[in-house]
Structure 1
């Protein structure tokens, strides 16, 4: 029997017009301290997002979410955030913000395979929406 590992995750959302509060789920970030794992998966549908607001700069959004991923994985180019430990990076990325790129409140669960769980959560919360 595989050991159950505690994990946390948040849904990554694009909020085209913050004042309206509408959002589109575009990704998942998952953190599992015991497995020393952090993973992120996202997909951006330009056509869908442009339907929400003609003012949304999708190229800038793509750059922003790519830097989000750089920070999540602790890669060079992610500034000071990339140099934080995995827990602090996850907390920073899932902090409440009022920008067009936000995350849900972190949720949690147990898994035997964080990579597979990331894929399952992506399919459930983003899946065919993109």
Structure 2
């Protein structure tokens, strides 16, 4: 695939992303950002990058199941990565895995509404967003 325009500038692709949020006590509605889930259709790219700030989580809920939250975040990363780590979603395309992961749920790990942007490099973009919105 040619990723440059006729003027030699890199082609920017539309991407969608959602924040992964940890809501330790659903009834209180408090949350912390713990990752970014990014999908770029033009590149058939989907990825999740996570970072759990345990101190912030414990500030919201001293009894939070940190190991369980970490396992849930790793599972999201696994579904994005595909292969054996994706379980039943392994045969799904990147878009279908992204849509499944952003579906509303009432669990401790939830996704935000979806936002969009333009990028030349989806892999670099997910890293940039984690640094900006999570760390």
Normalising by structure 1, report the TM-score: 0.91
TM-superposed CA distance for 1:91, in Å, is: 0.2
**CA-based RMSD:** 1.2
Per-residue CA deviations over 1:78-115 (Å, capped at 9, x if unaligned) read 32123211111000001111111001011111111112
**Structure 1 residue aligned with 2:93, among 85, 90, 94?**
85
Question: Gapped runs of 5+ residues in structure 1?
Answer: none
Aligned to 2:72: 64
How far apart are residue 56 of structure 1 and its match? 1.6
The aligned counterpart of 1:28 is 36
The gaps in structure 2 that reach 5 residues or longer are: 1-8
Q: Does 1:96 align with 2:82?
A: no
Over 6 Å off, 4+ runs = none
Provide the C-alpha distance between the structure 2 equivalents of 1:59 and 1:112, rounded to a whole number of angstroms.
35
Counterpart secondary structure, 2:43: coil
Contact kept? 1:76, 1:82, Cα under 8 Å: yes
Q: Do structure 1's residue 110 and structure 2's residue 115 form an aligned pair?
A: no
Task: Give me the TM-score of the superposition, normalised by structure 2.
Answer: 0.88
Looking at structure 2, the residues matched to 126 and 77 of structure 1 have their Cα atoms a distance apart, in angstroms, of 24
